[in-house]
Amino acid sequence: MSGEFAPPPPSVVAVQGPDAPEKLKRLVDPRDYQVHARGDIALAAGSQKHIHVEAGTDSVTVWLGRAIPEDATAAAAVLTRRTVSGVQPKLLAWRDGDLIRPATDESPAGIIAKYAPEARPDLLRNEIHSLSLAAEILGEGEVTRFASGALEGIPGYALLVERFDRAADGGKLRLEDFAQVLARPRGADFRGKYEGGYEEIAEAILRHSARPEIDRARFFSALVFTLVIGNADAHLKNWSLLERPEGLRLAPQYDLLNTLLYGGDYGRHAALAIGGEAVPIEAVDARLVLAFAERIGLPARAAGQRLEQLRRGFARSRRLIPPAAEPPDGFLNRYAAIVRAACARIFES
Protein backbone atom coordinates (compact mmCIF):
# COMPACT_ATOMS: atom_id res chain seq x y z
CA MET A 1 0.00 0.00 0.00
CA SER A 2 1.42 3.36 -0.94
CA GLY A 3 0.31 6.93 -1.31
CA GLU A 4 -0.38 9.85 0.97
CA PHE A 5 -3.13 9.87 3.52
CA ALA A 6 -5.33 12.91 3.89
CA PRO A 7 -5.94 14.47 7.31
CA PRO A 8 -8.89 13.03 9.25
CA PRO A 9 -12.26 14.73 9.36
CA PRO A 10 -12.90 17.06 12.31
CA SER A 11 -13.60 15.34 15.63
CA VAL A 12 -16.96 17.08 15.99
CA VAL A 13 -20.44 15.90 15.10
CA ALA A 14 -23.95 17.31 15.29
CA VAL A 15 -26.64 14.81 16.27
CA GLN A 16 -30.11 16.17 15.70
CA GLY A 17 -33.27 15.78 17.79
CA PRO A 18 -34.36 15.90 21.43
CA ASP A 19 -33.30 12.29 21.91
CA ALA A 20 -29.79 13.04 20.68
CA PRO A 21 -27.96 11.44 23.65
CA GLU A 22 -29.73 8.16 22.94
CA LYS A 23 -28.98 8.50 19.24
CA LEU A 24 -25.32 9.04 20.08
CA LYS A 25 -25.23 5.82 22.09
CA ARG A 26 -26.62 3.96 19.10
CA LEU A 27 -24.02 5.41 16.75
CA VAL A 28 -20.94 4.96 18.91
CA ASP A 29 -19.34 1.53 19.23
CA PRO A 30 -20.05 0.57 22.88
CA ARG A 31 -16.48 -0.71 23.26
CA ASP A 32 -15.18 2.84 22.80
CA TYR A 33 -17.02 4.68 25.53
CA GLN A 34 -18.65 4.39 28.93
CA VAL A 35 -21.67 6.43 29.98
CA HIS A 36 -21.16 7.93 33.44
CA ALA A 37 -24.19 10.21 33.48
CA ARG A 38 -26.54 11.87 31.03
CA GLY A 39 -24.45 14.06 28.76
CA ASP A 40 -21.10 12.72 29.94
CA ILE A 41 -19.57 9.89 27.91
CA ALA A 42 -15.98 8.98 28.78
CA LEU A 43 -13.66 7.71 26.09
CA ALA A 44 -12.15 4.29 26.69
CA ALA A 45 -8.51 3.21 26.25
CA GLY A 46 -6.86 5.69 28.55
CA SER A 47 -8.16 8.98 27.21
CA GLN A 48 -8.02 11.93 29.55
CA LYS A 49 -10.67 13.75 27.50
CA HIS A 50 -14.42 13.33 27.46
CA ILE A 51 -17.14 13.47 24.89
CA HIS A 52 -19.42 16.15 26.32
CA VAL A 53 -23.01 16.38 25.14
CA GLU A 54 -24.48 19.88 25.20
CA ALA A 55 -28.25 19.59 24.89
CA GLY A 56 -30.02 22.36 23.02
CA THR A 57 -33.58 22.77 21.87
CA ASP A 58 -33.17 20.58 18.81
CA SER A 59 -29.58 19.31 18.71
CA VAL A 60 -26.50 18.38 20.66
CA THR A 61 -22.87 18.85 19.77
CA VAL A 62 -20.12 16.39 20.62
CA TRP A 63 -16.65 17.79 21.11
CA LEU A 64 -13.28 16.59 22.31
CA GLY A 65 -11.90 19.32 24.49
CA ARG A 66 -11.33 21.71 21.60
CA ALA A 67 -13.08 24.63 19.94
CA ILE A 68 -16.02 23.64 17.78
CA PRO A 69 -15.52 24.66 14.13
CA GLU A 70 -18.36 26.72 12.77
CA ASP A 71 -18.78 24.40 9.79
CA ALA A 72 -18.92 21.15 11.82
CA THR A 73 -22.12 19.64 10.43
CA ALA A 74 -21.18 15.97 9.94
CA ALA A 75 -24.11 13.64 10.48
CA ALA A 76 -22.17 10.58 11.66
CA ALA A 77 -20.58 9.98 15.02
CA VAL A 78 -16.82 10.43 15.22
CA LEU A 79 -15.24 7.86 17.47
CA THR A 80 -11.88 8.73 18.99
CA ARG A 81 -9.66 6.20 20.73
CA ARG A 82 -6.39 6.95 22.50
CA THR A 83 -3.82 4.19 22.53
CA VAL A 84 -0.59 4.80 24.38
CA SER A 85 -0.08 7.99 22.45
CA GLY A 86 -1.97 9.65 19.60
CA VAL A 87 -5.62 9.77 18.65
CA GLN A 88 -7.26 7.87 15.78
CA PRO A 89 -10.56 9.28 14.47
CA LYS A 90 -13.17 6.71 13.49
CA LEU A 91 -16.57 6.89 11.84
CA LEU A 92 -19.28 4.28 11.80
CA ALA A 93 -20.46 3.70 8.25
CA TRP A 94 -22.64 1.46 6.08
CA ARG A 95 -22.67 0.06 2.57
CA ASP A 96 -25.26 1.58 0.22
CA GLY A 97 -24.82 -0.30 -3.05
CA ASP A 98 -21.40 0.66 -4.39
CA LEU A 99 -21.03 3.53 -1.91
CA ILE A 100 -19.88 3.62 1.70
CA ARG A 101 -21.80 6.27 3.62
CA PRO A 102 -21.41 7.66 7.14
CA ALA A 103 -23.89 6.03 9.52
CA THR A 104 -26.87 7.92 10.84
CA ASP A 105 -29.34 6.98 13.55
CA GLU A 106 -31.57 5.51 10.84
CA SER A 107 -28.95 3.46 8.97
CA PRO A 108 -27.04 0.26 9.65
CA ALA A 109 -23.52 0.66 11.02
CA GLY A 110 -21.65 -2.44 9.86
CA ILE A 111 -18.41 -0.71 8.90
CA ILE A 112 -15.84 1.24 10.90
CA ALA A 113 -13.88 3.83 8.91
CA LYS A 114 -10.53 4.64 10.52
CA TYR A 115 -8.50 7.73 9.63
CA ALA A 116 -4.86 8.58 10.15
CA PRO A 117 -4.33 10.91 13.12
CA GLU A 118 -2.43 14.10 12.47
CA ALA A 119 0.32 13.07 14.88
CA ARG A 120 0.84 9.72 13.11
CA PRO A 121 0.18 10.18 9.37
CA ASP A 122 1.55 6.70 8.57
CA LEU A 123 -0.54 4.88 11.21
CA LEU A 124 -3.25 4.02 8.69
CA ARG A 125 -0.71 2.66 6.24
CA ASN A 126 0.81 0.65 9.08
CA GLU A 127 -2.51 -0.96 9.99
CA ILE A 128 -3.45 -1.70 6.37
CA HIS A 129 -0.04 -3.28 5.76
CA SER A 130 -0.24 -5.33 8.99
CA LEU A 131 -3.75 -6.58 8.26
CA SER A 132 -2.78 -7.45 4.68
CA LEU A 133 0.28 -9.37 5.89
CA ALA A 134 -1.83 -11.21 8.47
CA ALA A 135 -4.42 -12.19 5.87
CA GLU A 136 -1.65 -13.52 3.63
CA ILE A 137 0.20 -15.48 6.33
CA LEU A 138 -2.52 -16.51 8.80
CA GLY A 139 -5.27 -16.82 6.19
CA GLU A 140 -8.06 -14.46 5.15
CA GLY A 141 -10.53 -16.11 7.52
CA GLU A 142 -8.24 -15.31 10.46
CA VAL A 143 -8.40 -11.53 9.93
CA THR A 144 -11.27 -9.08 9.98
CA ARG A 145 -12.48 -8.17 6.49
CA PHE A 146 -11.23 -4.78 5.39
CA ALA A 147 -10.64 -2.51 2.42
CA SER A 148 -9.40 1.01 1.85
CA GLY A 149 -11.27 3.87 0.30
CA ALA A 150 -13.37 6.93 1.02
CA LEU A 151 -16.74 7.62 2.61
CA GLU A 152 -19.30 9.45 0.54
CA GLY A 153 -19.19 13.13 1.41
CA ILE A 154 -16.22 12.80 3.77
CA PRO A 155 -12.79 13.96 2.55
CA GLY A 156 -9.78 11.77 3.14
CA TYR A 157 -8.64 8.18 2.81
CA ALA A 158 -9.86 5.56 5.28
CA LEU A 159 -9.36 1.97 6.36
CA LEU A 160 -12.82 0.40 6.06
CA VAL A 161 -13.22 -2.47 8.54
CA GLU A 162 -16.28 -4.68 8.39
CA ARG A 163 -17.66 -5.37 11.86
CA PHE A 164 -17.62 -9.12 12.43
CA ASP A 165 -20.04 -8.70 15.35
CA ARG A 166 -22.86 -8.01 12.89
CA ALA A 167 -24.96 -10.72 11.20
CA ALA A 168 -25.96 -10.54 7.54
CA ASP A 169 -29.33 -9.08 8.54
CA GLY A 170 -27.67 -6.37 10.64
CA GLY A 171 -28.35 -8.04 13.96
CA LYS A 172 -25.71 -8.06 16.69
CA LEU A 173 -23.63 -11.12 17.41
CA ARG A 174 -22.29 -11.76 20.88
CA LEU A 175 -18.73 -10.47 21.16
CA GLU A 176 -16.70 -10.57 24.36
CA ASP A 177 -13.18 -9.20 24.48
CA PHE A 178 -10.86 -10.82 27.01
CA ALA A 179 -10.92 -7.85 29.35
CA GLN A 180 -14.61 -8.70 29.71
CA VAL A 181 -14.09 -12.47 29.76
CA LEU A 182 -11.47 -12.16 32.50
CA ALA A 183 -13.47 -9.47 34.34
CA ARG A 184 -10.65 -6.96 34.34
CA PRO A 185 -11.90 -3.59 35.58
CA ARG A 186 -11.18 -0.58 33.40
CA GLY A 187 -9.64 1.36 36.27
CA ALA A 188 -9.52 5.14 36.45
CA ASP A 189 -6.84 5.25 33.76
CA PHE A 190 -8.28 2.38 31.65
CA ARG A 191 -5.17 0.27 32.30
CA GLY A 192 -7.19 -2.87 33.06
CA LYS A 193 -6.73 -4.12 29.52
CA TYR A 194 -2.98 -4.43 30.18
CA GLU A 195 -3.38 -6.39 33.42
CA GLY A 196 -2.87 -10.05 32.68
CA GLY A 197 -0.90 -12.54 30.63
CA TYR A 198 -1.30 -14.32 27.33
CA GLU A 199 -1.51 -17.63 29.20
CA GLU A 200 -4.73 -16.36 30.78
CA ILE A 201 -6.23 -15.81 27.33
CA ALA A 202 -5.31 -19.37 26.35
CA GLU A 203 -6.88 -20.73 29.54
CA ALA A 204 -10.07 -18.76 28.90
CA ILE A 205 -10.21 -20.09 25.34
CA LEU A 206 -10.07 -23.64 26.68
CA ARG A 207 -12.91 -22.85 29.10
CA HIS A 208 -15.25 -20.98 26.77
CA SER A 209 -14.55 -21.87 23.13
CA ALA A 210 -16.79 -24.34 21.35
CA ARG A 211 -13.64 -25.68 19.64
CA PRO A 212 -11.04 -25.17 22.37
CA GLU A 213 -8.08 -27.12 20.95
CA ILE A 214 -8.45 -25.57 17.49
CA ASP A 215 -8.79 -22.06 18.89
CA ARG A 216 -5.84 -22.54 21.23
CA ALA A 217 -3.67 -23.38 18.22
CA ARG A 218 -5.08 -20.44 16.26
CA PHE A 219 -4.31 -18.16 19.18
CA PHE A 220 -0.72 -19.42 19.33
CA SER A 221 -0.18 -18.65 15.63
CA ALA A 222 -1.82 -15.24 15.88
CA LEU A 223 0.21 -14.30 18.96
CA VAL A 224 3.51 -15.29 17.37
CA PHE A 225 2.53 -13.31 14.26
CA THR A 226 1.74 -10.20 16.29
CA LEU A 227 5.05 -10.48 18.15
CA VAL A 228 6.97 -10.92 14.89
CA ILE A 229 5.54 -7.73 13.40
CA GLY A 230 6.51 -5.79 16.52
CA ASN A 231 3.07 -5.16 17.99
CA ALA A 232 3.47 -4.05 21.60
CA ASP A 233 -0.21 -3.14 21.97
CA ALA A 234 -1.93 -6.55 21.70
CA HIS A 235 -3.78 -6.09 25.00
CA LEU A 236 -6.82 -7.91 26.37
CA LYS A 237 -9.32 -5.84 24.38
CA ASN A 238 -7.60 -6.75 21.12
CA TRP A 239 -8.51 -10.43 21.53
CA SER A 240 -12.14 -11.55 21.58
CA LEU A 241 -14.57 -14.44 21.53
CA LEU A 242 -17.24 -14.22 18.84
CA GLU A 243 -20.62 -15.93 18.58
CA ARG A 244 -20.72 -18.53 15.80
CA PRO A 245 -23.39 -21.11 14.94
CA GLU A 246 -21.44 -23.72 16.94
CA GLY A 247 -20.87 -21.41 19.91
CA LEU A 248 -18.18 -18.97 20.96
CA ARG A 249 -14.97 -19.01 18.91
CA LEU A 250 -11.77 -16.99 18.83
CA ALA A 251 -12.59 -13.89 16.78
CA PRO A 252 -10.60 -12.82 13.71
CA GLN A 253 -7.58 -10.58 14.24
CA TYR A 254 -8.07 -6.80 14.31
CA ASP A 255 -6.21 -3.64 15.36
CA LEU A 256 -2.85 -4.94 14.13
CA LEU A 257 0.11 -2.56 14.13
CA ASN A 258 3.88 -2.59 14.07
CA THR A 259 4.24 -0.33 17.11
CA LEU A 260 8.04 -0.65 17.29
CA LEU A 261 8.15 1.77 14.35
CA TYR A 262 7.25 4.51 16.84
CA GLY A 263 10.06 3.89 19.29
CA GLY A 264 8.97 3.95 22.89
CA ASP A 265 5.62 5.68 22.32
CA TYR A 266 3.78 2.38 22.71
CA GLY A 267 6.40 0.82 24.93
CA ARG A 268 8.83 -1.87 23.81
CA HIS A 269 7.45 -4.74 25.91
CA ALA A 270 4.67 -7.13 24.98
CA ALA A 271 1.34 -5.64 26.07
CA LEU A 272 0.65 -8.61 28.38
CA ALA A 273 2.90 -10.80 30.50
CA ILE A 274 4.45 -13.97 29.09
CA GLY A 275 5.31 -16.55 31.70
CA GLY A 276 4.36 -14.05 34.37
CA GLU A 277 6.96 -11.51 33.25
CA ALA A 278 7.09 -8.35 31.17
CA VAL A 279 8.98 -9.36 28.04
CA PRO A 280 10.65 -6.94 25.62
CA ILE A 281 9.32 -7.57 22.12
CA GLU A 282 12.86 -7.66 20.76
CA ALA A 283 13.77 -10.42 23.23
CA VAL A 284 11.14 -12.88 21.99
CA ASP A 285 12.89 -15.95 20.55
CA ALA A 286 12.28 -19.61 19.76
CA ARG A 287 12.93 -20.72 23.33
CA LEU A 288 10.34 -18.31 24.70
CA VAL A 289 7.56 -19.17 22.24
CA LEU A 290 8.10 -22.93 22.62
CA ALA A 291 8.00 -22.58 26.40
CA PHE A 292 4.80 -20.58 26.04
CA ALA A 293 3.29 -23.33 23.87
CA GLU A 294 4.14 -25.89 26.55
CA ARG A 295 2.56 -23.79 29.30
CA ILE A 296 -0.73 -23.45 27.42
CA GLY A 297 -0.85 -27.18 26.68
CA LEU A 298 -0.17 -26.99 22.94
CA PRO A 299 1.66 -30.20 21.95
CA ALA A 300 5.25 -29.66 20.83
CA ARG A 301 4.58 -31.16 17.42
CA ALA A 302 1.62 -28.85 16.82
CA ALA A 303 3.65 -25.84 17.96
CA GLY A 304 6.48 -26.79 15.64
CA GLN A 305 4.11 -27.13 12.71
CA ARG A 306 2.55 -23.75 13.43
CA LEU A 307 5.96 -22.08 13.65
CA GLU A 308 7.06 -23.66 10.37
CA GLN A 309 3.91 -22.40 8.63
CA LEU A 310 4.61 -18.92 9.92
CA ARG A 311 8.28 -19.09 8.91
CA ARG A 312 7.37 -20.07 5.36
CA GLY A 313 4.72 -17.37 5.17
CA PHE A 314 7.04 -14.58 6.21
CA ALA A 315 9.86 -15.92 4.00
CA ARG A 316 7.80 -15.87 0.81
CA SER A 317 5.81 -12.69 1.40
CA ARG A 318 6.54 -9.97 -1.15
CA ARG A 319 4.95 -7.45 1.21
CA LEU A 320 8.26 -7.43 3.06
CA ILE A 321 10.26 -6.47 -0.04
CA PRO A 322 10.50 -2.66 -0.20
CA PRO A 323 10.54 -1.03 -3.64
CA ALA A 324 14.00 -0.20 -4.97
CA ALA A 325 13.22 3.52 -4.95
CA GLU A 326 12.35 3.65 -1.27
CA PRO A 327 14.99 5.30 0.93
CA PRO A 328 16.63 3.24 3.69
CA ASP A 329 14.60 5.06 6.34
CA GLY A 330 11.34 4.61 4.43
CA PHE A 331 8.27 2.98 5.98
CA LEU A 332 8.59 -0.43 4.32
CA ASN A 333 12.33 -0.70 4.91
CA ARG A 334 11.88 0.00 8.61
CA TYR A 335 8.88 -2.32 8.87
CA ALA A 336 10.65 -5.17 7.08
CA ALA A 337 13.81 -4.78 9.18
CA ILE A 338 11.82 -5.29 12.39
CA VAL A 339 10.12 -8.39 10.95
CA ARG A 340 13.36 -9.89 9.59
CA ALA A 341 15.09 -9.51 12.96
CA ALA A 342 12.18 -11.22 14.73
CA CYS A 343 12.09 -14.04 12.18
CA ALA A 344 15.79 -14.68 12.74
CA ARG A 345 15.28 -14.92 16.52
CA ILE A 346 12.14 -17.04 16.44
CA PHE A 347 12.40 -19.26 13.36
CA GLU A 348 16.13 -19.60 12.70
CA SER A 349 17.68 -19.93 16.16
| pTM exceeds 0.85 | no
70: left (phi over 0), alpha (psi -120 to 50) or beta: alpha
180 and 249, same domain (yes or no): yes
Domain count for the chain: 2
- Residue pLDDT, tens place only, 294-333: 999 999 999 999 999 999 999 999 999 998 899 999 999 9
Residue 4, in any domain of the structure? no
Q: From CA 280, how far away is CA 240, in angstroms rounded?
A: 24
- Domain boundary residue, one of 162, 196, 219: 162
CB-count exposure of residue 316 (10 Å: 0-12, 13-18, 19+): exposed
How far from 107 is each of 53, 102, 149, 327, 338, CA to CA, in Å? 22, 9, 20, 45, 42
- What is the residue range of 127's domain? 13-162
DSSP of 221-267, one letter per residue?
HHHHHHHHTT-S---GGGSEEEEETTEEEEPPB-S---GGGGTTTT-
The pLDDT tens digits of the residues spanning 229-273 come to 999 999 999 999 999 999 999 999 999 999 999 987 888 999 999
CATH number of domain containing 248:
1.10.1070
- Which sign, positive or negative, has the C-alpha torsion 174, 240, 242, 50? positive
Contact at 8 Å (CB) between 235 and 177? Answer: no
Give the burial class of 95: count Cβ atoms within 10 A of its Cβ; 0-12 exposed, 13-18 middle, 19 or more buried. middle
Burial 14-52 (b: 16+ CB within 10 A, else e): ebeeeebbebbebbbbebbbebeeebebbbbbbbeebbe
* Same domain assignment for residues 143 and 201: no
Question: Which of 162, 183, 218 is the last residue before a domain boundary?
Answer: 162
User: What pLDDT does residue 329 have?
Assistant: 93
Residue 245: inside a domain, yes or no? yes
Q: Is 200 found in the same domain as 97?
A: no
CA distance 143 to 133: 10
Are 197 and 129 members of one domain? no
pLDDT for res 118 = 79
Whether residue 139 is found in the same domain as residue 278: no
Contact 335, 261 (CB under 8 A): yes
pLDDT exceeds cutoff 70 at 62: no
Distance between CA 272 and CA 313 in Å, rounded? 25
- Residue 206 and residue 334 share a domain: yes
- Where on the phi/psi map is residue 67: left (φ > 0), alpha (ψ -120 to 50), or beta? beta
Segment 77-121, tens digit of pLDDT: 333 222 222 346 788 899 999 999 988 888 888 999 998 887 888
Spell out a b/e string for 259-287, using b for 16 or more CB atoms within 10 Å of the CB, else e: bbbbeebbbebbbbbbeeeebebbebeee
More confident residue, 21 or 336: 336
